[in-house]
Structure 1
Amino acid sequence: MVFRACPCRLAETGDCILCSQLAGKNFCDCCNWNGVCIYQDYASNNYKAKESRKYYHCKIVEKNKFEDNVVIFTLEVSDKLVSELVHAGSYVFARRPDTDTRFDTPISIMDTDTRNNTITIAIELKGTKTKDLDILKEGEEMLVKAPFWNGILGVKNINNIKNSKCLIVARGIGQAPMIPPLKHLHGNNNEITVIIDNAPYKNSFVNEYMEKYASKVILVSTICRGKITEEFNNILKDLISNNDIKLVHCDAADVLNYELMKVVEGIDENIKYSCCNNAKMCCGEGICGCCTRKNNDRKLRRLCKMQTEPKYVLEGRRIF
């Protein structure tokens, strides 16, 4: 997705992820590009990058605590911003207004409400950044930098599939970023089976969404000591073999994302696969290098921006 901040600072340094001429090459290879020419946009802007994403002061209209270490915030945002965050894979950077940019925390969008102009995010309290957000109370403001969209690897597989049977797997806090792809798939007339592993929690915080959008929900322990459990493996084989599954999507830690991908490939390599993007992120603009990956193909990928298939990220690197 090309944004109003494109071309960004990567164009100035010859590191653009889309335009070959702004990536140090002397030719245009955008033969299948249907959007505005990025190089022309760059030239029209006096060969300078456009203004980066902005920060927004968002009022906290609701704050709920789930079990001991999950906080769910509902934030009031502008109608324009909420419309930009409805896409599967959307995420934001959030922090308290009285802290500096070092506290920017990448958080996936859990839900959007275009009627009331609100977004919902779920935060697992892990370290200093997330615990710092928990200090905020209802009625106060949260500082949000947005919009960002590369929260899902293989997102085109989700966007393109219609009138089919799909499988979604989510574990722990991964239940939060599962909601946008679930709603998108449901909106495209897909029949969705959802497998949920609540660990490390006792219960699920997305039950209302399951009742509304999922055709079937299965609760099972998915992984143990880095390997898919036998029960989960048997369920997968039965579902995929007997239900003509066309897409499998996973929202979990990369060890489960990878193990599930290999199982799906082993059963039917024609099934499309997507998963959440768990890359560490700091700036979201591809500048800091925190999210970069180099695997067996030696290609550098800036995962805060660069869209790719999960196999090019998960294979060839240590995932746990």
Structure 2
Amino acid sequence: MNYEIKDCIDAGTEYCPCHLAETGDCLLCSHLQGKNFCDCTNWKGVCIYQEYAWNGNHAKQLRKVSLCKILKKEELTKNVVCYTINARHKLVQELSHPGSFVFARNPKSNGYFDAPISVMDTDVNENIIKLVIESKGIKTKTIDMLKENDNIAIRGPYWNGVLGLKNIYQSKDRTSLLIARGIGMAPMIPVMKKLYSNGNKIIAVIDKSSFKDIFIKEQLNLCDATLIECNVLESNGTLSNELKDIIKKYEKDVNLIYCAGPDIFISNILNETNDNIKIACCNNARMCCGEGICGTCSTRYDGDVVKRLCKLQIDPKFIFKDRRSL
């Protein structure tokens, strides 16, 4: 595929149309972009313009905040904690997909403290979600003050934590190569489970980075994954020779390469791989509201093109193409 296909992660859901429709900024609907003709892209079986009209020319409701109980707080390594949280059944169901994430905060803090956190795992039978949080800034440090049996404020569901979701769902009955660095191990789990359920053999390349241990070994064993430990990045941001050799070894046999790490890592993976290989990656856009309103996730490209990456679902091969650095 050598052309960009854009999609909106919320299109066709109960949260569509969103507030972008009210200002002519809808990602998909040509009418709600101010045009005089119907030219919807990626038809979801629901007319966004009609939904907008039926809702009195207003946006649908925003995601709600739920108070959820912390059942278990487990320290995985220094400053890295796994929270086992009891949540509403519907919310747990909606978060049981690759790319799901929530905004979490200490209930004693206001909305400015919302921190976007990827969902590592869910259990729809027990109504449980698991979040792995690394305490680094003021938002995550205030969450770390919470203890077992305390409530945690959760806003969601959100689904655009992974770019290239179509590539994940279409990859079946072969071998998939998953590469993760540091805290990127956590959002890799739902991707791995989906690929494994699609009949794929999993090869997981893990860089512990500053962590003492690989905290997802149990999940790797459940998916019968082949684990390869290696340093994936050099100090100057280039890929390590060890990782390059691994990619060369497997790229002819894999149907997908998924990578979770910083943007420079993802960009170098894209440059290293064959154009014919399907790619998926974590979404490293800066998230603040998650609704496309605040503009924090907005990334600018040549031609004054603005992409709201909290909602825009695209192939990773187009994340850095024509992207402006100023």
State TM-score, norm by structure 1: 0.95
Counterpart in 2 of 1:251? 260
Counterpart in 2 of 1:279? 285
Gaps of 5+ in 1: none
Measured in 1, the distance between the counterparts of 2:139 and 2:294 equals 18
- CA deviation after TM superposition for structure 1 residue 316, in Å: 4.0
Retained in 1: the 8 A contact 2:279–2:317? no
- What whole-Å deviation, never above 9, does each CA across 1:254-295 have from its counterpart, x for those lacking one? 11111111111xxx2211001000100110000000000112
SS at match of 2:312: coil
Measured in 2, the distance between the counterparts of 1:296 and 1:160 equals 30
Report % sequence identity. 46
Measured in 2, the distance between the counterparts of 1:101 and 1:32 equals 33
Retained in 2: the 8 A contact 1:286–1:304? yes
Q: Which amino acid aligns with 1:160?
A: Q
Retained in 2: the 8 A contact 1:194–1:214? no
SS at match of 2:251: helix
Counterpart in 2 of 1:270? 276
Gaps of 5+ in 2: 1-8
Give the length in aligned residue pairs.
314
Measured in 1, the distance between the counterparts of 2:268 and 2:279 equals 12
- CA deviation after TM superposition for structure 1 residue 20, in Å: 1.2
Counterpart in 1 of 2:6? none
- CA deviation after TM superposition for structure 1 residue 161, in Å: 1.3
Retained in 2: the 8 A contact 1:76–1:118? yes
Measured in 2, the distance between the counterparts of 1:33 and 1:254 equals 30
Retained in 2: the 8 A contact 1:55–1:145? yes
Q: Which amino acid aligns with 1:295?
A: Y
Measured in 1, the distance between the counterparts of 2:112 and 2:293 equals 15
Q: Which amino acid aligns with 2:259?
A: C
- CA deviation after TM superposition for structure 1 residue 123, in Å: 0.7
Written as runs of structure 1 = structure 2, the 5 A alignment for 1:1-320 is 1=9, 2-30=12-40, 32-224=42-234, 225-241=236-252, 244-264=253-273, 268-296=274-302, 298-317=304-323
Q: Residues 20 and 71 from structure 1, CA distance in 2 versus in 1: closer, same or farther, beyond 3 angstroms?
A: same
State TM-score, norm by structure 2: 0.93
- What whole-Å deviation, never above 9, does each CA across 1:21-71 have from its counterpart, x for those lacking one? 111211111265132111101101110111111000000001111221111
Q: Which amino acid aligns with 1:229?
A: S
Retained in 2: the 8 A contact 1:106–1:281? yes
- CA deviation after TM superposition for structure 1 residue 92, in Å: 0.3
Measured in 1, the distance between the counterparts of 2:130 and 2:318 equals 30
Segment drifting more, 212-221 vs 168-177:
212-221
Measured in 2, the distance between the counterparts of 1:234 and 1:318 equals 31
